[in-house]
Amino acid sequence: MRFLVITDLHQKRADVGWINEEIRNQGAESVLFLGDVTNFGTKETAAKILSSIDSTVYAIPGNCDPLDFAEGIKDVAVDMHGKAADVGGCRLVGLGGSNPTIFHTPFELSEDELYDGLKKNASEGMILMTHAPSYGILDQIPSGQSVGSTAIKRIVDEYRPILALSGHIHEAVGVVSRNGTLFVNPGPAKDGCFGVVDVVDGKASAEIFKH
């Protein structure tokens, strides 16, 4: 199964053109969108953007998306906020929003809410879709401070997903393997960044590109 992974578009609608081009070029079977579809926009804006992507899109909200994101996108994409889905033999488990930030953005959740929201669907061998990263992994801001979620790290430690996908921290782009989990932050789509993930026989691999 091949996924195109994008995050942090921040309402840059013009970029949908290259996203559709890369879906075709990379032979992606589905798109995983890790949030911040909008930049403090509405559910209608989120739906308009997602409906213009030429693929089945599995999406979660980011901290800059509206609280009614899930309601807005339900007819144009697969809402993965607090949900699970089986796709091509892969189990996706998603939760959007972020742990609290100093900016008080619209879609922030407490660590308890993040933990409970993921635990209800979590299972070993899953693909974890979150907007915020696990604490200590692909979560450093330019000062060097780690700002990831302790709750997401706890879920990773307990369930050991084969793949943990996140965005949110624009500078922390990378692919890291740790304790059997492949962590991926593809970088912000608003800057032309995306990831391609392959899952074959329960094993994940990933590459990051810039269009």
pTM of the model: 0.98
Model confidence band, residue 90 (pLDDT cutoffs 50, 70, 90): very high
Asked if 31 and 57 touch (Cβ cutoff 8 Å), the reply is yes
Q: Which residue from 25, 1, 70, 41 is spatially nearest to 194, judged by alpha carbons? A: 25
Q: Which domain holds residue 15?
A: 2-210
pLDDT, tens digit (0-9, with 9 covering 90-100), for 6-65? 999 999 999 999 999 999 999 999 999 999 999 999 999 999 999 999 999 999 999 999
CATH number at residue 8: 3.60.21.10
**What pLDDT is attached to residue 52?**
98
Closest CA to 70 of 54, 56, 55, 59: 59
Q: Quote the number of domains for the chain.
A: 1
Half-sphere exposure of 177 (CA within 13 A, CB side): 7
